Structure formats: C-alpha cells, structure tokens
Structure 1
Amino acid sequence: MDYHSVFENHKEQDLLGRYITLKNIEPLLGKHLFKNKIDVLEKSVLEKSIYGYQTGTGEFKILLWSQMHGNESTTTKALFDLFNYLDSDVEEVQKWKDKFTFLFIPILNPDGAELYTRENANKIDLNRDFMNLSQPESQLLFSQFSSFKPDFCFNLHDQRTIFAAGKTNNPATVSFLAPSFNKECAINTTRQKAINLIVGINMELQKHIPNQVGRFDDVFNRNCVGDTFQQLGVPTVLLEAGHFQNDYEREKTRKFIFISLLRGFSLLYENDIVDNKIDDYLKIPQNNICFYDIVYRNVKINYDNSIIITNFAAQYKEEIIENQLFFNAYISSVGDLNEIYGHLEYDAQGGLFHDGVDYFPNIDQKADFIIGKSKIFVNGLLIK
C-alpha cells in the first residue's frame, strides 16, 4: 500500500492544528452519518456530548478512543482522516468492514479539550481513574468496553516534545506500549498479541521515520485504562503521537498515526499477531527524556557576580488566549545541559545575555532577550 498517497487523498482538510474541540468535529461527523452509526453516548461533567462512531459488521470488534487527555488532539485528527478512508469504496476497506466492527470515541474528554488541559472539568486525569471510575467520562469508556466486548483496543494519546527515541538525538515521533497486566510485568497471551502488533506496526514505520519510534516503560498501574483492559483479557495498544522535526502543529505526525492504524488493521485482518516477537519489541528503544524545544549554547551570563559561559534552554508552554492556541517560550533550565538536545539550537559564541534588566536567564521568565549587541530573540527565536 502507498500509505502516503492514501493519507493525502483522505486527509481531513477541515481539521488542522492542535486546538481541537467539539466545535471542530461536530460538523464533520455530519458528513459521515449516511454510512455509519453515530450517537451521543454520554455527556461530560459540563454536559458536552461524547460521541460514538461505529462502522463495519464483522465479528472481530475493535475499540479506539482519543483525547482522553483533552490537550492531546493529534490522534483525533488521524481518526477523521481514517473515517474518510473507511467511507471509501476500495476493496481493502470493504474486507475490513466485513471482518471488523469498529467503535471510535473521537473525543472522550470534551471539557478538557475545550479548556486545553490534560484533566477533565473536575481536574481528574481520566487515565488515572480506572480503579475508582469516579468520572462520567471514565464510566462511559468502561461501560462501552463492557457492552461492546472488544477483541482489541487502541488507546490514543499525544506525548510531549521532551522525548527521544532511546539514547539518540532523534525525537520519538511515535511511541508505543503494550501495557502490563500485573506488577511483575509478565507476558501472557493477551499482552503477547499487543506486543506482536506493535512490532508489526514498527516495521512499517521504520520505512517512514527510521529511528524515531520509541517505547514507554511498562511499570504496572491499575489506575490506567490500558493496564486495566489488558488485565481484563483484551489486548490493548497505547499509541502516542510525538514530535516530528519542525512540526509543532503535528500535521506530519498525524500521518504517521494514520499509517500506524492502517498497518495495525491490516495485521489484525491477516491474523499476523500470533508469533513470539518479544525480542523485537524490546529492541524498540525506550523513550528517553533529553530534549528541550530550544537550547542556547556558549552564552555569557552573570552568575553570582561572576561572568561565565554556559548553556540554557527554553520550552514552549501551550497557552489558550482568546480561543487561540499559542506556543509561548519560557526559560526552563540553565547549566551544562550535557546529553541534552534542542529541537532548535543556537550557538551564542560567547555573546552576553541580557533581557533589559538582568544578565542571567531566570527560570520561568519569558524567552525574550538579547545576546551580544545585536541578536534579538523574541519568544525564544532569533528575529534580528
């Protein structure tokens, strides 16, 4: 399959950027009503609609949900790209619909999506609520899991720009986890299926983003939905959309999520998830925190009345201002920054830092400053 062409032909052009809410997806759901079952499954804490999107008639059932964390929207975009593909008449889609029944929940946490926060309106992380099931959104997902009785689950998230694929300077553009079902992180038949599927997807992704796929630590947490569903005997894959070079809107990353889902469905259709692929799974490099958004090296600063040359870093905070998302850069770290990388790096060549008040980059201050006599930085970026 030419995944790139399939993506370009089915990309949902009316769903762009990182701030994705019900206002963005509700008009798009309307155009899919004629071929699919779309219902309001439940209401959120603030009485916003949580939609279910069901298609296919097969016996093998697949449950997928996105934006469990409201500010993690890339996989929602990829789902709508997928909806366009599943509405097409290509032979592969028809085969999938004969074998599979899909149930998608495209924004599980609409309140968090509107507020652009990880938590729901009650400030609860839904992915830490699967022992208590205290929130209507958590209760809904568990209820759908219980009634739909899926054979496979996809738990779709975004991850921060801080992660590299192992001990490299490559961003972890896509990361996976086959969640554990017990404290021993054992591997049973259920978890083995998730592992094998991840290995198959990774083999395809290496053709498109070589050395930019990571793997999360598998420490067991019964409060997490993936660990819970795995414990209940349903293979579950955690899929995280991460950073691709110069792609803060994650318009490129959405393509790799789309490819991951298509390849995953193909492998499930072919039943190519039965071999023991643990060694290949463990070869996927573990996510490593070693990135800042911007690193400034060889900067002269005034530290405790002494002039020294050192490095500092800035990180973007994603902030909603008047219903628009802004990436605002703030100073995050000062020091050697050994084995730390920047998605963007500047060599100050010994230029003196000053921000109009101080000659030291203070943590949490806005990244607006001058280096030397003429290099002006606004929001972390060199403008002059």
Structure 2
Amino acid sequence: MEALELFLQFKEQSIQGRYLTLEAILPILKRHNTNNQLKHVGNSVQQKPIYTYQIGTGETKIFLWSQMHGNESTTTKALLDFINFLNSDTELAKMLLEDFTFLAIPILNPDGAALYTRENANKVDLNRDSQDLTQPESNTLRGVFEVFQPDYCFNLHDQRTIFGVADTGKPATVSFLAPSYNEAREINVTRLKAIRVIEKINTILQNYIPGQVGRFDDSFNINCIGDTFQYLDVPTILFEAGHFPDDYEREETRKYIFISLLASFTTLCENDIVNNEITQYLNIPQNKAVFYDFMYKNIKINYDGNEIMTNFAVQYKEELIDGKVNFSAYIAAIDNLESYFGHYEYDAQGALYSDNLNNLPKINQIANFSLDNKVIFVNGMIKV
C-alpha cells in the first residue's frame, strides 16, 4: 500500500491542530497498551508523567522523541499516526516490528505542551541542556537513552513559518539534519548512517512536495541533544516540520512527517543505500529565514506631510487563549524586504495606508488597517 494511503488509513482522528497536551494523547497510548508497552519513566518540573511507548521485537533499536519543545506538536501527531500503523495487521507493519524495536517518548516536555511554550516550566530550553542536565525532563531523556542503547535516534521538532528552501520562494515544509559531532562538522561513519537515511527520505518526499525539503544548519553545539547523541556515536536524525501553504494547523505537514518516518524504516529495513549519498545530501538546499506570513507591497503612507511608497511584513504570534492557539498578526518589518517572501502577498498598487492609531505602520503593531479607506484588513487578512 502506498505511503499516503497508509497515512489516511491510520491517521489518529482524535487529535488535530497545534495545541496538543499529554492529556489529549494518553487515551491513544492507553488504547495501544495491550502488553505493557506504555511505561512511566519520569516526571516533569510540575510532576506531570513522562511516558515511553515500546513496540517491536527487532534487533535494530530505534529511539524517537517529540515535543522536547512544548509548542512543537506536528511530529507528535505524526508519531501517533505511526504508532497506529505499527499496531495494525498490515504486512509492512509486521515486517517493521520484526526488524526493529521502537521506543518513543511522544511528549518529553508535558509542562511546555500545556503552557504552549518552547521551554519547560523552569523556562529552560531542553535542547540546550544535554550537557548540564539541569532539568528532570533532560535527565529522563538521557536515562532512557543510556538504558535502551539505541542504534538510531530520531529527534522530532517543528520549525517556524519563517523558513524557506534557500532563495527559491518555496516554504521549507519538512527539513532534516544529520547533526555534527565535532566543530569541524566532519562526516564519520556514524553521521554517514544518518545522512543515508535523510537522502532516501528526500528522494521520496520530492514526489509529494517537490522543492519543499530543506537541510537544517549543521553548526556544532554540544549542548544540543542531537549533537550530543551523534558525538556519542549513535546516528541521529533531526526532523523539522515546517509550513505548507495555508496549513497553519500543520495537518498537511503532518502527513509528510508520517511518510518520512515510514521512508526511514523501510530504507533501513531494505538496506536501500545509494552511491554518492553525501553529495546528494549536501545538495538538499539549506533552510533560510526568508519568509513572513504576510507581505504588503507598494503601500502609500503619509510621512511628515510627504507621500512615500513603502512595503511592510506581518508575522503571526501564536498565543494560547482559553485552551486554543490563536494566530495574532503583528507588523514585523518595514521597507527593505527585497530578499524576503510572504506566504500571503498583497500588492496595494499605491493605495494609501490608514489605521486607527497614527496612520503609519509600526513594528509590533496589530495588523488592522485599511487601504484607500476601501479595502479593510483585520488581523492581516482582508475583511470580507
């Protein structure tokens, strides 16, 4: 069965959108806890439980974790879709379970997930705590790693809408990285194993999202967990779930993460390795911060009595209000936007800007304005 069909068949319908908490996913994990696969392995700062889910009997051990950053839930959704698939009676699932033992931490940072923050409850970025291990969540992750002794690690994240694929004007819907293990960013046998998997994933994804796969920056930082595990000689692959056009809830991106997971393990299972994989990996265009959520061009403003033309860009801020993520649009940049793109672009063709404040776009101002007093924009979008 084709990967997209598998996703549609095993997508977990009970979870949607960007706000995903431990309480939301526990019923799913408990449903699949038919043989004590679910284990309580640690607690967060606020004493929320951290769980692992283990399945499979294969020799090759795969360690996956998601929501190390609490507001990065796309990969968690896809991971649960993948767990649904592994618990199916399909021949492919049976084959993977015979070849691999999977151990997943679906939500490493349950406090951050509840608060919808990148950091944990102590305001610490867990992905900068791999050496000092000051936080209970970091210690839990490291403890599971040392006991399980994985053959491969999958470090699952989201990235912001600002990232595009180099200067192509296409969003980086999914990006990958085989983290460096030293300052020189050399490629040893361990890193090469991760590169080979990424190269194969990219080949498959190009059939679904051509030109929308990026390669994340590989600057070495031993405080990052991926760099640490690569340094410890375990091939580690970083996933970054990014923006697909008009998909702010990341439901489209979710399916490409599922497809990427499936591609990873079928590649390892089949030992489907190609020549020149390093070159092909390095040819994946790098992520680049070249996008804003909105861009408005050729705007006329009245500045000190003079009419001038300008451009400005608007970026969403994701704000948790009453248990729901709201996307609030604020002005983020003005004038020189030549090297940037907008996920939504509007050419005002010289229309005059006005608002209820000073009739001038200003940084951090909410994007409510009108053009020629005819076209009204509310929270960045045209009011219909």
TM range (shorter): over 0.9
Structure 2: how far apart are the matches of 1:349 and 1:268?
53
Aligned amino acid, residue 118 of structure 1: R
Identity %: 59
Structure 2: how far apart are the matches of 1:16 and 1:217?
29
Structure 1: how far apart are the matches of 2:257 and 2:53?
18
User: In the alignment, is residue 151 of structure 1 matched against residue 145 of structure 2?
Assistant: no
2:5 match: 5
Aligned amino acid, residue 101 of structure 1: T
Aligned amino acid, residue 203 of structure 2: M
Q: Would the aligned equivalents of 1:193 and 1:273 in 2 still touch at CA under 8 Å? A: no
User: In the alignment, is residue 116 of structure 1 matched against residue 110 of structure 2?
Assistant: no
Aligned counterparts, 1:1-384, within 5 A: 1-34=1-34, 37-273=37-273, 275-384=275-384
> How many residues are aligned here?
384
Structure 2: how far apart are the matches of 1:266 and 1:259?
11
1:99 offset after TM fit, Å? 1.3
What is the CA deviation profile of residues 195-225 of structure 1, one whole-angstrom value per residue up to 9, with x for unaligned ones?
Answer: 1110000000000000000001111000000
Structure 1, unaligned runs of 5 or more: none
1:96 offset after TM fit, Å? 1.0
What is the CA deviation profile of residues 67-98 of structure 1, one whole-angstrom value per residue up to 9, with x for unaligned ones?
Answer: 00000000000011111100111111111111
For normalisation by structure 1, the TM-score amounts to: 0.98
1:357 offset after TM fit, Å? 2.4
1:381 offset after TM fit, Å? 0.3
What is the CA deviation profile of residues 91-136 of structure 1, one whole-angstrom value per residue up to 9, with x for unaligned ones?
Answer: 1111111111000000000000011010001111000001101100
1:2 offset after TM fit, Å? 1.0
SS in 1 for 2:251: coil
Structure 2, unaligned runs of 5 or more: none
Q: Would the aligned equivalents of 2:354 and 2:373 in 1 still touch at CA under 8 Å? A: no
1:272 offset after TM fit, Å? 2.7
SS in 2 for 1:252: helix
Q: Would the aligned equivalents of 1:192 and 1:276 in 2 still touch at CA under 8 Å? A: no
SS in 1 for 2:133: coil
Bigger CA drift: 355-364 or 224-233? 355-364
What is the CA deviation profile of residues 304-323 of structure 1, one whole-angstrom value per residue up to 9, with x for unaligned ones?
Answer: 44211111011000001111
- Structure 1 stretches of 4+ moved >6 Å: none
Aligned amino acid, residue 360 of structure 1: L
Q: Would the aligned equivalents of 2:292 and 2:341 in 1 still touch at CA under 8 Å? A: yes
1:27 offset after TM fit, Å? 1.5
Bigger CA drift: 338-347 or 257-266? 338-347
- Report the CA distance shift for 1:352/1:164 in structure 2 as closer, same or farther (over 3 A): same
Q: Would the aligned equivalents of 1:196 and 1:276 in 2 still touch at CA under 8 Å? A: no
Structure 1: how far apart are the matches of 2:8 and 2:226?
31
What is the CA deviation profile of residues 251-286 of structure 1, one whole-angstrom value per residue up to 9, with x for unaligned ones?
Answer: 000000000000000011112348551100010000
Q: CA RMSD in A?
A: 1.1
SS in 2 for 1:169: coil
Structure 2: how far apart are the matches of 1:357 and 1:351?
18
Aligned amino acid, residue 339 of structure 1: S
Q: Would the aligned equivalents of 1:201 and 1:263 in 2 still touch at CA under 8 Å? A: yes
